């Protein structure tokens, strides 16, 4: 298949492009590089031994997108990763988040209708469940996101669901990711956050590298066995494989298809930290800090639907996630900007 990947230079996008190429698909990337580097795409090409067609363009730019779709009349489907994703920043810059993430989804929907493209896979998030019973199951009623970022995921899901009603031949796949971590085992591609990381694994990794002084554990008085929050960490390569599987299974199967992509296993902040230290044989200083606003004590996926229907399940464990994160960190101490 010929797949247009928005946000394909980013963290999850780059790993997915590699999996797509390996599975024999052709890849066209559209990315404005607002949170990524062209070098990620170069490295994916090297790893796969195949080339990618790359456009530096903004998915909210309708004219630029129309020109790309007019140029490539053989596109079979879209994977839509492009978006802004920092929860805290979305509270401070809501206009930017709603504009970028919602208009991007709207423009792509318009292109699909205009150019007769029937397949789209969308990067959603477990954040759409809000505070809910665990494990989170696809059939649950969705929660109320507490921040603009989460709202953009809920709204984009709704836009695509409505588009699928209006265009009954479309296949809309909504993939709800849990907590993606890790990097490709080659150490060539990984997560390269700009500035101080917001998420736990890149923060641990930068403390271990001596770039940050210590980890702040946000709360140890949650109602969990060790008092720290529990999440469902999933290796980014498992996540990437999940996209390829979803695309191959569901292309041209009309309707809306929703899947959790997680492991189904909960790991606490303290467990992740000690696993990282043990696997990589190093010490990560930490301190207990106050709870972070908006955090939920514990959530993890019911990942059985993806296994049942797609034949996909996450196979890489916490040790692999910690090892691959650290390999990427040590081989690329400043991300792609060496
Ligand atoms: P990322 O920031 O590494 O990748 C996003 C990519 O989109 C970047 O390359 C960025 O330059 C590009 N982009 C952003 N706005 C754009 C625009 N208007 N036009 C063109 N390109 C644009 O983030 P990621 O972690 O790879 O996340 C990918 C997707 O998955 C996002 O939609 C994110 O919200 C979603 N998601 C991520 C996580 C996570 O923990 N990383 C969890 C759940 C959902
Ligand atoms: C966060 C977002 C979520 C988004 C996800 C993936 C919030 C409230 N939620 O999820 O919407 O989909 O990222 O991008 O931001 N932690 C520390 N110290 C740190 C960083 C994190 O103790 O320096 C703790 C957090 O309190 C949390 C856990 O580690 O309990 C995981 O945090 P994080 O990696 O930010 O992911 P989520 O909060 O699950």
Q: Is the minimum distance from the CB of 32 to ligand 1 under 6 angstroms?
A: yes
Q: Which helix (H) or strand (E) holds 270?
A: helix 269-280
- Reading the block at residue 282, the tokens are 């190093």
Q: What residues are paired with 133 via a beta bridge? A: none
Distance 156 CA to ligand 2 centre (A): 21
Whose atoms come closest to the Cα of 299: which ligand?
2
Q: What token pair was written down for 39?
A: 């070098």
The helices-and-strands tally (H runs, E runs) of the chain is 12, 13
Whether the predicted model's global pTM rises above the 0.75 cut: yes
Residue whose C-alpha is closest to residue 194's, from 11, 52, 7, 1:
11
Q: Are 324 and 182 in contact (CB under 8 A)?
A: yes
Tell me, using a 6 A CB cutoff, whether residue 127 lines ligand 2.
yes
Helix 11-22 and helix 236-250, axial crossing angle in degrees, nearest 10: 60
| Sheet with strand 119-125: strands edge to edge | 53-56, 26-31, 2-6, 77-80, 119-125, 171-177, 255-261
Dihedrals phi, psi of 189, to nearest 5 degrees: -130, 150
* Whether 149 is catalytic: yes
Q: Active-site residue among 97, 149, 177, 233?
A: 149
Phi, psi of 179 (to 5 degrees): -110, 95
Residue 297 CB neighbours (<10 A): 16
The Cα–Cα gap between 305 and 308 comes to 5
Instruction: Find tokens 């591609």 and name the residue.
Output: 189
3-state secondary structure of 77: strand
- How crowded is residue 74: how many other Cβ atoms within 10 Å of its Cβ? 8
Q: What is the pLDDT of residue 140?
A: 97
b/e burial code for range 230-253 (CB count within 10 A of at least 16 → b): bbbbbbbbbbbbbbbbbbebbbee
Ligand 1 pocket: which of 4, 7, 148 to mutate (most atoms <8 Å of CB)?
Answer: 7
**Closest-approaching ligand to the CA atom of 97:** 1
Ligand 1, closest atom to CA 35?
11
Count of CB atoms within 10 A of residue 194's CB? 11
Q: What are the structure tokens assigned to 52, written together? A: 């990618």
Contact 332, 265 (CB under 8 A): no
Question: Which residue puts its alpha carbon closest to atom 27 of ligand 2?
Answer: 229
Name the closest-CA residue to atom 7, ligand 2: 87
State pLDDT tens for residues 281-322.
999 999 999 999 999 999 999 999 999 999 999 999 999 999
Ligand positioned closest to the Cα atom of 29? 1
Over the chain (338 residues), what is each successive 10-residue block's mean pLDDT?
Answer: 98 98 98 98 98 98 98 98 96 97 98 98 97 97 94 98 98 98 98 94 98 98 98 98 97 97 98 98 98 95 98 98 98 90
Phi, psi (deg, nearest 5) at residue 82: -60, 125
CA distance linking residue 37 with residue 47, whole number of Å: 16
């Amino acid at each position: 298949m010929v797949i247009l990947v928005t946000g394909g230079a980013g963290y999850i996008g780059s790993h997915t492009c590699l999996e797509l190429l390996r599975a024999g698909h052709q890849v066209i990337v559209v990315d404005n590089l607002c949170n990524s580097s062209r070098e990620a795409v170069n490295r994916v090409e090297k790893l796969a031994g195949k080339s990618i067609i790359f456009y530096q363009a903004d998915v909210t730019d309708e004219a630029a997108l129309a020109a790309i779709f007019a140029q490539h009349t053989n596109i079979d489907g879209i994977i839509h990763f492009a978006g802004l994703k920092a929860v805290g920043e979305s509270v401070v810059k809501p206009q930017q988040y709603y504009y970028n993430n919602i208009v991007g989804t709207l423009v792509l929907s318009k292109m699909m209708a205009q150019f007769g493209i029937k397949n789209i896979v969308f990067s959603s998030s477990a954040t759409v469940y809000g505070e809910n019973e665990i494990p989170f199951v696809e059939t649950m009623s969705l929660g109320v996101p507490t921040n603009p970022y989460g709202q953009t995921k809920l709204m984009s899901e709704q836009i695509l669901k409505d588009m699928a009603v209006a265009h009954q031949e479309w296949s809309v796949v909504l993939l709800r990711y849990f907590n993606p971590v890790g990097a490709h085992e080659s150490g060539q591609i990984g997560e390269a956050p700009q500035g101080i990381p917001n998420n736990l694994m890149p923060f641990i990794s930068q403390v271990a590298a001596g770039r940050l002084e210590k980890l702040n554990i946000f709360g140890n008085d949650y109602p969990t066995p060790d008092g720290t929050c529990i999440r469902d960490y999933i290796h980014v390569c498992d996540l990437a494989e999940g996209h390829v599987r979803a695309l191959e299974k569901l292309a041209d199967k009309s309707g809306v298809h929703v899947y959790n992509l997680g492991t189904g296993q909960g790991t606490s902040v303290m467990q992740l930290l000690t696993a990282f230290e043990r696997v990589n044989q190093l010490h990560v200083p930490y301190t207990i800090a106050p709870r972070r606003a908006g955090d939920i004590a514990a959530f993890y996926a019911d990942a059985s639907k993806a296994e049942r229907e797609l034949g996909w399940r996450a196979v890489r464990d916490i040790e692999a996630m910690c090892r691959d994160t650290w390999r990427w960190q040590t081989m690329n101490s400043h991300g792609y900007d060496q």
